[in-house]
Chain A
Amino acid sequence: MADEQKVTAELEAGAEAAHARANRTRLLRTGGAIVALAIVVVIVNIFSHGAFLTPGNLTNVLRQITYNAILAIGQTFVIITAGIDLSVGSLIELTGVVMASFANAMPFDGFPLVVSTLIVGLAVGCAAGFVNAVPVVKLNLPPFITTLAMMLMARGLAFKLAHGRPVALNSDAFNTMGTGFFLQGPLSAVGSPGIPIPVLWMAVLVAIFAVLLTRTRFGRYVFAIGGNEEAARLAGIAVGRVKTLVYVISGGCAAIAGMLLMARFHSGSPNTGIGSELQSIAAVVVGGTSLAGGRGSVVSTFFGALLIGMLNNVMNLLGIESYTQDIVLGAVILLAVITDELRKRYLQS
């Protein structure tokens, strides 16, 4: 009897400790990025003599990160399954060129044109994602290779279709999507130009995919596969189907980013996406998602993209030349993963 009491007491003490540990984990995980962000904001604002924290500039930052953040959403799903998608940068270009060519060839204009063009772009992006996934799923090839191959092929195809130069859009139907604002009137009172439409897209996509990842069966399976693929398979999960869908999502996100970029620049260009795949991976990693898979979050990725975007913005404000910017960005990414690793070790001790 005494023994049993002792065991119960020990259990309860253990439970409390574990609870405290779990809380600490959660705090460190979600809190870390936000605290870092806040610190950066304050420092940055001081250095830029107040030019940073203005509604106009913040709107700018958000608009600048839109494309990267949207790519990074899809990338987050892929990386949680312990994969990687190197093709998203090229897919921006391919979908942009295809959509611009398609829009120019259609006899109708206005809203129907926008919708049908978006559908075509999504079809191309998702199909490319599917092609990425097939060798990964069927032959267990490393996604690094299949998506690298897709990166080259998609870029080449984009250049070929566009004859090596941007395809200018004939229609003006896309202007709102690219350069328009939402809530322009009400927000002008606080000195803001309103919310750019692309930023609205980003917000909606972050919300949708955050819910998909955290609230649905599919999202649960994505984590399970990344955490332990064999256990997931033995639990009866259709691992191949889930993985395929993840790459299709990534391709679809690339198509949406391609659409917004095309709308903004009024053309589909075959070289706008160079380096974007690495930018998106950087956003995911800075957001704290592990490249080893099994953990991560869409919201964290958004903050990762935001952090990188703010750094870029402030360095521009400070007139730092672009070579130096690259050095700083690289260092920040390295710092982010090192802190992440140290944090993990601290939590495990």
Chain B
Amino acid sequence: MSGIVKTFPGVRALDGVSFDVRAGEVHALVGENGAGKSTLMKILAGAYIADAGTIEIDGKVAAIDGPRAAETLGVGMIYQEFNLVPDLSVVDNLLLGHEPLTRGFLDRRAAVAQAGSVLSELGIALPLTLPARKLTVAQQQLTEISKALLRKARLIVMDEPTAALTDREIDALFVLIAKLKAQNVAFVYISHRLEELPRISDRITVLRDGKTVETRPTADLPQDEMIRLMVGRALNAHFPELPPVAEDAPVVLLVNRLASTAGVPVTDVSFSVRAGEIVGLAGLVGAGRTDIVRAIAGADVPVAGSIDVAGRRVVVHGPHSAIEAGIALITEDRKAQGLVLGMNVRENTTLAHLDAFAKNGFVDRAKENETTAREIAELRIRTPSGEQIVRNLSGGTQQKVVLAKWLIGDAQVYLFDEPTRGIDVGAKAEIYALMVGLLARGAGIVMVSSELPEVLGMSHRILVVREGRIRAEFARADATPDKVIAVATGVAA
């Protein structure tokens, strides 16, 4: 792959990336969240089409215009979220789209024979007739690998293959990879677990901000240098000055031994936030940061632990009780969770506090208009009017509508989950300024962000989350990108 460019609305995800894999090699691809690893591999697998650049396979230029083309060319992609049909049997999944037919009818016996021969060749044992949903994670992964091999894949891309495996399963996976390497199958290996790379990879490529930073044999790239290359840049200077937290500032949020099981299990999370303070939650995608703030806000009901807002115990049994207590969650996915896209700015702005706008159940339109107009002016929401349908607004503007929705409630605790994802630099600066404004009002803020500079630049304190637990705490002055990444990736405790 050379000179690959891919742009999404507002973001240049890949900016001239070049990357090569040799036969029989395991080539690791590392980088921070958003560095472009997944995008690059999706282009290779035909899930995205590159805007520019070429892909060559065996020295010939290959036009990969869809998943089918990639498959024909011998590229097999194993996503972190597996693509198995849960209610079909293992053998049916293995041969999906390539079912052997006899006189136009499915030939079960031939299917079992075909699948069985490939599996026995690799020494993989899978319950062929069991529905895929009954398999363990490791078995599902083996099914995916076998599926790729059945389609004669010579290059297999694995995205975070060990994320959900036990140590023994990882050992077994590595043995299998070694065996396939000997048969000249090549691997692209994407992983956040840097410590396992020396065991498995031959070469490592570091991506940063959509560019290739370095490609080196694994032996020549020690871990600390790898981290430095991943982080790489100086902190951007355009974060506003954070006012210091007053010595006697009261604690507005006290979380004690919180646990939740709805998504990534959250265990034993305790921390506090004072008035005027921003606490940053750092960590990798899938570490459980979002799950922590969701549990505090009642989006997932916590199974254990306690939450106090301004010294008062809050029993959180749903979003409503958290909102009543003065907790506002600005969710990471504004389209799926933050906004009703088909409604207008006014209706979205007042949605969470409609009680305040209603008399005897009737909505006071004049009051709504007044508040909406005020928020549009204060937040500089770029919309022709409050009646504009939110779907038609830009990402940054939509995010401001989400903020307006929660700002009108005067909450004491604001939980920001990826507040600036996918929005342009200008809107980012405005949102930072707004957060500082909230601090002045005496609110406390918890901010989840996958952008390390943002966490480091916009927090008074930083908590590093890994596997649903808080693993380390840094004061702003002590936090460096290397230290945070080391804890987040499990290199340091």
- List the interface of chain A (C-beta within 8 A of B): 11, 14-16, 18-19, 21-22, 25, 215-218, 220-221, 223-224, 227-228, 230-238, 294-295
Among residues of B, the one whose C-beta sits closest to the C-beta of A20 is: B384
- A235 near B336 (CB under 8 angstroms)? no
List of B residues within 8 angstroms of A237 by Cβ? 320, 351
The smallest C-beta distance from B8 to any residue of chain A, in angstroms, reads 19
CB contact list, B318-332 vs A, under 8 A:
318-320, 322-324, 329, 331
List of B residues within 8 angstroms of A14 by Cβ? 382, 384
- A235 near B352 (CB under 8 angstroms)? yes
- Main DSSP-derived SS at the A contact region: helix
- B354 near A22 (CB under 8 angstroms)? no
- Answer whether A234 and B389 are a contact pair too, CB < 8 Å, given A16-B384, A217-B358, A227-B340: no
Residue from A220, A231, A238 whose CB has the most chain B CB atoms within 10 Å: A231
If A15-B383, A224-B351, A294-B342 are given as contacts, then 5 extra A-B residue pairs at C-beta distance below 8 Å, sorted by A number, are A18-B388, A22-B388, A217-B357, A218-B361, A228-B341
- B323 near A236 (CB under 8 angstroms)? yes
Q: How many residues of B contact A (CB 8 A)?
A: 37
Decide yes or no whether B387 CB sits under 8 A from chain A. Answer: yes
- A236 near B320 (CB under 8 angstroms)? yes
Among residues of A, the one whose C-beta sits closest to the C-beta of B335 is: A228
Decide yes or no whether B34 CB sits under 8 A from chain A. Answer: no
- B351 near A235 (CB under 8 angstroms)? yes
Contact partner of A215 (CB less than 8 A), chosen from B318, B340, B362, is B362
List of A residues within 8 angstroms of B137 by Cβ? none
List of B residues within 8 angstroms of A216 by Cβ? 358, 361-363
- A232 near B340 (CB under 8 angstroms)? yes
The smallest C-beta distance from B435 to any residue of chain A, in angstroms, reads 20
- B388 near A223 (CB under 8 angstroms)? no
The smallest C-beta distance from B349 to any residue of chain A, in angstroms, reads 11
Decide yes or no whether B339 CB sits under 8 A from chain A. Answer: yes
List of B residues within 8 angstroms of A19 by Cβ? 384-385
List of B residues within 8 angstroms of A227 by Cβ? 340-343
Give bound CA distance, A11 to B385, whole Å: 12
A–B complex contacts, Cβ < 8 Å, 12 sampled: A18-B384, A18-B388, A216-B362, A217-B361, A228-B336, A232-B351, A233-B318, A234-B337, A236-B324, A237-B351, A238-B320, A295-B342
Among residues of B, the one whose C-beta sits closest to the C-beta of A25 is: B389
- B389 near A215 (CB under 8 angstroms)? no
Residue from B329, B331, B336, B354 whose CB has the most chain A CB atoms within 10 Å: B354
Contact partner of A224 (CB less than 8 A), chosen from B299, B320, B340, is B340
CB contact list, B24-49 vs A, under 8 A:
none
CB contact list, B162-211 vs A, under 8 A:
none
The smallest C-beta distance from A178 to any residue of chain B, in angstroms, reads 33
List of B residues within 8 angstroms of A223 by Cβ? 340, 342-343, 347
Give bound CA distance, A234 to B319, whole Å: 5
- A231 near B319 (CB under 8 angstroms)? no
List of B residues within 8 angstroms of A294 by Cβ? 340, 342
- Answer whether A231 and B339 are a contact pair too, CB < 8 Å, given A18-B392, A220-B347: yes
Among residues of A, the one whose C-beta sits closest to the C-beta of B321 is: A236
Among residues of A, the one whose C-beta sits closest to the C-beta of B333 is: A230
Give bound CA distance, A59 to B383, whole Å: 47
List of B residues within 8 angstroms of A218 by Cβ? 361
- A224 near B343 (CB under 8 angstroms)? yes
Decide yes or no whether B461 CB sits under 8 A from chain A. Answer: no
CB contact list, B376-398 vs A, under 8 A:
382-385, 387-389, 392
List of B residues within 8 angstroms of A236 by Cβ? 318-320, 322-324, 352
Decide yes or no whether B460 CB sits under 8 A from chain A. Answer: no
In the A-B complex, list the 4 residue pairs whose CB atoms are closest, starting with the nearest: A15-B384, A227-B340, A235-B352, A236-B320
List of B residues within 8 angstroms of A18 by Cβ? 383-384, 388, 392
List of B residues within 8 angstroms of A228 by Cβ? 336-337, 339-342
List of A residues within 8 angstroms of B331 by Cβ? 234
List of A residues within 8 angstroms of B241 by Cβ? none
List of B residues within 8 angstroms of A233 by Cβ? 299, 318-319
Give bound CA distance, A78 to B383, whole Å: 31
Give bound CA distance, A294 to B338, whole Å: 15
List of A residues within 8 angstroms of B341 by Cβ? 227-228
- Answer whether A217 and B355 are a contact pair too, CB < 8 Å, given A234-B329, A234-B331, A236-B319: yes
Give bound CA distance, A21 to B384, whole Å: 11
Among residues of B, the one whose C-beta sits closest to the C-beta of A225 is: B340
The smallest C-beta distance from B375 to any residue of chain A, in angstroms, reads 15
The smallest C-beta distance from A15 to any residue of chain B, in angstroms, reads 3
Among residues of A, the one whose C-beta sits closest to the C-beta of B343 is: A227
- B363 near A215 (CB under 8 angstroms)? yes
Among residues of A, the one whose C-beta sits closest to the C-beta of B389 is: A22
The smallest C-beta distance from B409 to any residue of chain A, in angstroms, reads 9
Contact partner of B319 (CB less than 8 A), chosen from A15, A235, A295, is A235
Give bound CA distance, A29 to B318, whole Å: 37
List of A residues within 8 angstroms of B466 by Cβ? none
List of A residues within 8 angstroms of B339 by Cβ? 228, 231
Give bound CA distance, A228 to B335, whole Å: 9
Give bound CA distance, A122 to B329, whole Å: 41
The smallest C-beta distance from A195 to any residue of chain B, in angstroms, reads 28
Contact partner of A231 (CB less than 8 A), chosen from B337, B363, B382, B385, is B337
The smallest C-beta distance from B201 to any residue of chain A, in angstroms, reads 39
Decide yes or no whether B400 CB sits under 8 A from chain A. Answer: no
The smallest C-beta distance from B373 to any residue of chain A, in angstroms, reads 14
